[in-house]
Amino acid sequence: MLSAFRAGSFHPIERTKRSAGRRPLHTVSDNAIHIDIMIEAGNWPDEASLESLVSKSVAAAWNSLGLKSATSELSVVFTDDASIQVLNGEWRGKDKPTNVLSFPAFPVKAGSQPGPMLGDIVIARETVEREAKEEGKPIENHLSHLVVHGFLHLLGYDHETDEEAEVMEAREREILHALAIPDPYAVSDEDINND
As a whole number, mean pLDDT of residues 174-188 equals 89
Residue ranges making up the domain that contains 44: 12-194
CATH number of residue 67's parent domain = 3.40.390.30
The pLDDT confidence band at residue 26, using thresholds 50, 70 and 90, is very low
In this structure, the strands spanning 117-124 and 72-79 are: parallel
Q: Is there a contact between 34 and 51 (Cβ–Cβ < 8 Å)?
A: no
The pLDDT confidence band at residue 80, using thresholds 50, 70 and 90, is very high
In a domain, 2, yes or no: no
Q: Is there a contact between 156 and 107 (Cβ–Cβ < 8 Å)?
A: yes
In this structure, the strands spanning 72-79 and 26-30 are: unpaired
The number of folded domains in the chain is 1
In a domain, 22, yes or no: yes
CA dist., res. 35 & res. 26, Å (int): 8
In a domain, 5, yes or no: no
Residue 15: pLDDT over 70: no
Q: What digits encode the pLDDT tens for the residues 128-166?
A: 999 999 999 999 999 999 999 999 999 999 998 999 999
In a domain, 127, yes or no: yes
- Using DSSP's 3-state secondary structure scheme, residue 39 falls into strand
In a domain, 49, yes or no: yes
In a domain, 4, yes or no: no
pTM: 0.82
In a domain, 3, yes or no: no
In a domain, 79, yes or no: yes
